Amino acid sequence: MVRKRLGTWDVLVVAVLALVVVASSVLVDGFATSRFWGFLLLDVIPIALIALPMTLVIITGEIDLSVASVLGLSSAVMGQLWLSGTPLPLILPLVVLLGVACGAVNGLFVTGFGLPSLAVTIGTLALYRGLSYVVLGDRAVADFPFSWTGTFIEPLPGTTVPWVALVVLGLAVVFGVVLHATPIGRALFAMGNNDQAATFSGISVAKTKFWLFVVTGAVASLAGFFWTMRYASARADNGAGLELAVVAAVLLGGVSIFGGRGTLGGVLAGVLLLITLRNALQLADVPADTLTVVTGTLLIISVVGPNAASMLRDRLRRRRPA
């Protein structure tokens, strides 16, 4: 039953996405061009990237609001390292290590000290963003070599699809397989449904969650690296507020905020829907503030929708004679 309801929500999101694409192709000038889709995919990459581990985190019933700050800190540290003459091939692993460390701090507070992840990551959201200002202040480092910054927005030969989008797709397949086809994935769902039951069935809840936060930190720092390369600018405020867009996309994709429910395919559809709608409206000259309203409304609909649907279904079923 649960499975069936999930399926319908996924299908609904994909259907709405298709509707938005078709409607915009007809109504919005320049939407159906491959150039627009190239830019759209570049916008999708950071959010889609962070949404992958975030999906897993939310399915276990936790949340990580510090991801955008990890992205910003990675960007700031990148800028500082570059200023001090570190070569970029060395900066990349250092930045990922930084993300691992940030994630480990989150994981330690949540699983080691048993604190609620919501409170912990609101704290580290402020802490990591604050540290990125400490590292770089309000300066911007923008003299990265074009041989690097150009590479990251390079499309696949003969298309406008950025090659990084394929890497993200590959990662999405890995996360999808782990979540839906391995014992680890089933353990994540079990934890989200009932921590204690999961513990009693032999799952090491704390250890799994700790590593999940570490992976989230690492992926967020990768997104920070991409962000810095894409905009060719390292700033302390890079990606500020992005955590809300990521959470919105994940929930829109049908993941339950209470944990235990959701699919990775649904989340990808959610990310695409959010960004496509936003970019299409932007292209149609809808002012940026209306976009904010749309994002917020989508987020609310994404949680009210399934709830209202299941309430309605329950009522209908009760009315029907058993």
Partner 1 sequence: MTTATKPAQGASPPRARGDVRGARRLFVIRELGIALALVLLVAVTTISNSRFLSAQSRKDLMLGATILVVLAVGQTIVVITRNVDLSVGSVLGLSAFATGKLFLAMPDAPIVLAILAGVGLGVLCGAVNGALIAIARVPALVVTLGTLYVFRGLDYSWAAGQQINAADMPSGFKRMGTAVVLGVPVLALFAVAVLLIAGFYLRSYRSGREMYAIGSDPDAARLSGIPVGWRVFTAMTVSGALAGLAGVLYAARFGTLDAAAGTSIELNVVAAVVVGGVAIFGGSGSVYGAALGAVLLSTMGAALPVLRIDPFWQQAVVGSLILAAIGLDRALTARIARRLRGRRARGA
- Catalog residues that contact partner 1 under the rule CB under 8 A: 109, 113-116, 118-120, 122-131, 133-134, 137-138, 241, 244, 247-248, 251, 257-258, 287-297, 299-300, 303-304, 307-308
Given a contact cutoff of 8 angstroms between Cβ atoms, the answer to whether 192 and 57 are in contact is no
- At closest approach, how far in Å is the CB of 118 from partner 1? 6
Of 53, 96, 44, 101, nearest to 74 (Cα)? 96
Q: Which is nearer to partner 1, 137 or 183 (CB)?
A: 137
In the numeric block, the tokens 């829109």 are attached to 252
DSSP per position, 245-294: HHHHHHHHTT--TTSS---HHHHHHHHHHHHHHHHHHHHTT--HHHHHHH
Q: Which is nearer to partner 1, 155 or 305 (CB)?
A: 305
- At closest approach, how far in Å is the CB of 256 from partner 1? 10
- At closest approach, how far in Å is the CB of 260 from partner 1? 14
Q: Which is nearer to partner 1, 215 or 298 (CB)?
A: 298
Given a contact cutoff of 8 angstroms between Cβ atoms, the answer to whether 128 and 69 are in contact is yes
- At closest approach, how far in Å is the CB of 219 from partner 1? 21
Q: Which is nearer to partner 1, 139 or 186 (CB)?
A: 139
Q: Which is nearer to partner 1, 105 or 190 (CB)?
A: 105
- At closest approach, how far in Å is the CB of 39 from partner 1? 23
Number of neighbours of residue 238 by Cβ within 10 angstroms = 26
- At closest approach, how far in Å is the CB of 165 from partner 1? 26
Given a contact cutoff of 8 angstroms between Cβ atoms, the answer to whether 173 and 161 are in contact is no
- At closest approach, how far in Å is the CB of 87 from partner 1? 27
How long a stretch of residues is the chain? Answer: 322
In the numeric block, the tokens 């959610």 are attached to 270
Q: Which is nearer to partner 1, 5 or 186 (CB)?
A: 5
Q: Which is nearer to partner 1, 43 or 237 (CB)?
A: 237
Given a contact cutoff of 8 angstroms between Cβ atoms, the answer to whether 239 and 46 are in contact is yes
- At closest approach, how far in Å is the CB of 246 from partner 1? 11
CA–CA separation, 234 vs 80, rounded Å?
9
How far is the CA of 85 from the CAs of 78, 200, 248, in angstroms? 11, 52, 38
Q: Which is nearer to partner 1, 161 or 206 (CB)?
A: 206
First to last CA, the chain: 17
Give the phi and the psi of residue 253 in degrees, each rounded to 5.
-75, 5
CA–CA separation, 268 vs 286, rounded Å?
25
- At closest approach, how far in Å is the CB of 308 from partner 1? 6
Q: Which is nearer to partner 1, 185 or 253 (CB)?
A: 253
DSSP reduced 3-state for 240: coil
